[in-house]
Every structure is written in structure tokens, then in C-alpha cells.
A and B are shown apart, each in its own frame.
Chain A
Amino acid sequence: MTTVVLDQLVPARAGWSAVVRRGQLLTITDLAGNQAVDCLLYDAHDTTVRYSAPDTLQAQGSLFLTKGSVLLSDEHTPLMTVLADDCGRHDTVGGACSKESNTLRYGHHTWSQHACVENFLAEGARWGLGKRDLVSNINWYMNVPVEADGTLGIVDGLSSPGLKVVLRAERDVLVLVSNCPQINNPCNGFDPTPVQMTISED
């Protein structure tokens, strides 16, 4: 019998955070499709141990996250495992948008727009985390191919309404999410939409 512990709608552009206890499942539902969900993970009891995109790539030998991917910390220990994935491909190379990086990617006219790093800072502050704690993150549902010559870019998403990713916590994990507010980028079809975060347990 599966029990829902927490079920919350994250509005377009908003941040979200929660602790997912060891063994619990976190389901991220892309309600309207083509929405990038930027995500950082921390050991809930020792936040100096945090998600590491490089360690995760090393361990699985592939750029893309999907079912079976184990999300590792920078101490090379498991934080969460992708148990199910309707989409098939998620990014962990492209990081989060910020006011600062947006000035490089699009122009200084974007300075006053929303950005993921602001969401991460605001959510992280609720748990005693600061800028030092922000590292390369996961981008659920974001599509970032790499060409033979190294050309890399965020392109149209592979997601569609209602797709789900299911993660199992391998220890008590603090999850920070920025439901990406980008409006200059195909990562969310130039139109941020809400997502659903559901924590459940058997």
C-alpha cells in the first residue's frame, strides 16, 4: 500500500524544497510538458555532501540521466536512484540559469528576469545553505545534446504533458528544485509551466 506523504504543485517559475527520507519515492510530474526542473540534492544530515554531476557521469559513463541512473554525491556515494522515467533523457551538464549567466547567453537586457539560481538561493536559505553550496545540478526533462565537434546546446524538449520521473532516496536527502523560469530558451518552450512534486512510501 503506497502512502502519499507530500503532494505539492510547484507553480511556474517557483522554487521548492523538501527532505525525502531514505526509501521514500519522489515523483516529479511534468504537468504541461516541456518544463525543465532544475534540481540539487544534499545529504539531509550533512549538507557538505551534495550532488555531483561529474561523479554521476563517471559512474554511469554517459551524459544523460534516465532509468537506472544513480545520482552520486561528491564523495561518490549514492543519494538517489532513478527508478522510473517516462521521458528517457535528462541533463546534468548544463547547470542552472542565473541572472549573471543570462547576460552572457542572451544579453544584458535579461538582467531583471527570473533565474534558477535565485530560486536555489531562496530555497537553500531555508535550510542554512548559501551560494557556496550551489553546484552543477540536474535538469529533469531538459534536452542537451553534444555534437561530434563538441557543440552543445539546450534544444527542444522530449517531454510531454504528464510524464513522470520517479526517484528513490538512498539516504535522507534534501531536495532543492527551481521550476525553471527561463523565457529565452527552448528548455521549457519559452513558457514556464507548473510541475507536481509527490513524496510517497510503501
Chain B
Amino acid sequence: MTTPETSTATTVAARAHARAQHGRVVECMPQLPPPEGTLWAETVAGGNYTHLAVPAGTELTLTDTEGDACAHLLLYVTGRPWERLNAADTVKVQWNAYLGAGSLLLSDQGRVLATLVEDTSGRHDALTGTSAAARNAARYGDGSAHGPSPAGRELFKLAAAKHGLTPRDLPPAVSFFKGVRAEPDGALTPTGSAGPGARVTLRAEQPLTVLIANTAHPLDPRPGYHCTPLAVRAVPGRPTAPGDGPRTATPEAHRAFLNTDAANSTTLEAR
């Protein structure tokens, strides 16, 4: 039975009830205002998602605080989302299937979206993407966005919609903190997590719209759905500058940054 103090039977009481929640703090929420020196700080719950738009140069650090996060990531150039992450070009152009420090996340326009400037995990996946509702339903009994075992694709649909994008705008994603290795015969072996505290830092080389789904890796061999919180922190910075190591690490990177410079300067002129 509702006590008079907690009654929500009237507008005034309902307002008081809602307002009484002001200032409540839980683990998985944005920190607002962001801590000094940061653009954004948030903890994303396991089985949840976030989305943010960041200026070029922003350094975005993802931390697997408890050791069972899996950050499925999609990137778009803000304002012209037809330029987006291309996982195939990312592995093919760099002649490597595995992401690590120094890797570039490439767009479908031959340009750099982000540089992976720091990686303490070494267990990432640019091959097997995120999960679909049907797969999670078969494995865990449910794959819906608000169920107990949400699929990454269902969360990406929601995150994309908030930027005016539809499922047609969802290409294959890359994933951080849960790895996959390919055997010589092509067999794919999940490597699991590096443990609590692993982090990666991505530097935005263009203005980016970032979609992140924190959901169980699709090849997670465990019978249950396991996904723990993901810390997301964005700080201001500058894009990789001429003379910086990642620019000239390979001929492919060199040309990718030249292409990116041209795109960024065109944007400046348009302003």
C-alpha cells in the first residue's frame, strides 16, 4: 500500500516523487558536468550502448573496468555519415587482421577516422563483428535491446537512429577487449579478455560520430551472457600532426593521412 509520502496519485505528489531522485548516483551513468579537462565521461552498463559526436583531435579512452566489457564500435564522419568505418579496408590496407597500438581505423573513402594511439589489451576483433538478435536468441534465449542478453546490432540500430541513421547505415563493426585469432586453416579462436583495467585510446582524425554497443562478444564460448561495464572518457586533443609517428609508419598510412588532410582542409574552407 502506498504511503501518503510516496503517493503519486496527484500531479504535485508525482512531481515530488520524481524530483526526489535528483542527485542520485549509480555506477553506470554519465558524469555531468564532465570532470575538469574532459569532454565526456560515462560508464556504459553491460548490455547497453552510448553514442557521441566528438571534434577532430579528441582522444577517446575506453576502459574495460571489470574485465568483461566488449566495446563494439562504429564510426562516421559527423555531418557526412556516408563516410564511415570500413572494417575490410582497415585490415586489408594495413596488411593485418589484428588491431593494436598504431592501427588506423579507416573509412570507406581512403581516409583515417581514428588512430589507435594506446592499447593495453591486445585482444580485439576486426573480423567477426557484433551480434544479431537471432543469434543471441538462439544462444541465450533473447537478443532484444531491452532483454537480459541484448544483441549489439539491436543497440546499434537505436544508437544510429539518434543520429538520423538507419539499419542501412550499419556496416560491420570492430570490437575491443575481446579478441579472435585465425588459425592457418582459417579456424577462428576467441582469445577472451585481457582482464580488468585494460584500455584503448582512439584519436579522432576527423570530426566523428561514435556508436558503441557494450555487449557479449559473438564468439564468447561461455553458455551465459557475460558483459560488464565499460568506461568511456573523451578529452580534447589535436589530430595526428605532421612528423608524428603514426603518419609515416607505413606507406599506406602516409597516403591515408594525406587524404585525410585534404578532407579536413576542405571542411575548414567550407566554414
Contact of B134 among A76, A101, A107 (CB under 8 A): A76
Q: Do B88 and A95 touch (CB < 8 A)?
A: yes
B93 touches A58 (CB 8 A): no
Stretch of A10-18, A26-34, A147-155, A172-180 on the interface side: A147-155
Given A95-B88, A108-B255, A146-B97, A48 contacting B132 (CB threshold 8 A):
no
State A132–B130 Cα separation when bound (angstroms).
Answer: 18
Residues of B within 8 A of A158 (CB): none
Please give the distance in Å from A119's CB to the nearest CB on chain B.
15
**B109 CB–A CB distance under 8 Å:** yes
Query: When chains A and B are docked, how far (Å) is the Cα of A76 from the Cα of B86?
Result: 20
Q: List 5 A-B contacts (CB under 8 A).
A: A76-B132, A94-B88, A98-B108, A103-B110, A149-B98
A63 within 8 A of B: yes
**A133 at interface, CB cutoff 8 A:** yes
User: Which stretch (B43-51, B179-187, B237-245) binds chain A?
Assistant: B179-187
B110 touching A104, Cβ below 8 Å = yes
**In the assembled complex, A55 has its CB within 8 A of some CB on chain B:** yes
Which residues from B are CB-within-8-Å of A156?
none
Chain A, range 80-96, C-beta contacts under 8 Å to B: 89, 93-96
In the complex, A63 Cα to B97 Cα: how many Å?
11
Which residues between 115 and 146 of chain A lie within 8 Å of chain B, taking CB atoms?
A: 117, 131-137, 145-146
Interface string of B114-156 (1 = CB under 8 A from A): 0000000000000111111111000000000000000001000
B259 adjacent to chain A (CB < 8 Å): yes
- The verdict on A112 contacting chain B, using a C-beta distance below 8 Å, is no
Known: A103-B259, A104-B110, A132-B168. A151 touches B96 (CB 8 A): yes
A150 to B123, CA, bound (A): 12
CB within 8 A of A58: which of B135, B169, B186? B135
With known contacts A55-B135, A58-B219, A63-B186, A101–B96 Cβ distance under 8 A:
no
Q: A134–B256 Cα gap in the complex (Å)?
A: 21
Interface size on A, residues (CB 8 A): 48
The residues in B between 170 and 227 inclusive whose CB is less than 8 angstroms from any CB of A are 170-173, 182, 184-188, 218-219
A101 and B252 CA atoms in complex are apart in Å by: 9
Query: Is A57 a contact partner of B127 (Cβ separation < 8 A)?
Result: yes
Q: Which of A58, A133, A150 contacts B96 (CB 8 A)?
A: A150
**CB of B34, distance to nearest CB on chain A (Å):** 32
Number of interface residues of B (CB under 8 A): 47
Kindly list chain A residues whose C-beta atoms are within 8 Å of the C-beta of B133. 75-76
* Given A55-B135, A62-B187, A132 contacting B82 (CB threshold 8 A): yes
- Indicate if A159 sits at the interface (CB-CB under 8 A): no
| Least CB distance, A78 to chain B, in whole angstroms | 10
Is A191 in the interface zone, CB < 8 Å from B?
no
Q: Which residue of B lies closest to A103 (CB)?
A: B110
Complex: chain B residue closest to A132, CB-CB = B168
Interface pair A104/B186, CB less than 8 Å apart: no
Q: What B residues does A150 contact at CB under 8 A? A: 96-98
Residue from B87, B88, B111, B167 with most neighbouring chain A CB atoms (10 Å):
B88
Which of A53, A133, A151 sits near B172, CB closer than 8 Å? A53
The answer on a CB contact under 8 Å between A100 and B109 is yes
Q: Which residues of A contact B95 (CB under 8 A)?
A: 151-153
Is residue A186 contacting chain B, with contact meaning CB distance below 8 A? Answer: no
Using Cβ atoms and an 8 Å threshold, which residues of chain A touch B91? 93-94, 152
Q: Is A22 an interface residue (CB 8 A)?
A: no
CB distance from B173 to the nearest CB of A (A): 8
Which residues of chain A come closer than 8 Å to B252, judged between CB atoms? 104-105
**Which of chain A's residues have a CB closer than 8 A to the CB of B109?**
100
Q: Report the separation of the CA atoms of residues A51 and B129 in the bound assembly, to the nearest whole angstrom.
A: 13
Q: In the complex, which residues of chain A have a beta carbon less than 8 angstroms from the beta carbon of B219? A: 58, 61
B106 within 8 A of A: yes
In the assembled complex, the Cα of A150 lies from the Cα of B256 at a distance in Å of 21
Residue B24 lies at the interface, judged by CB distance under 8 Å to chain A: no
Q: Is the CB of B170 within 8 A of A152?
A: no
B168 touches A136 (CB 8 A): no
User: Does A77 make an interface contact (CB < 8 A)?
Assistant: yes
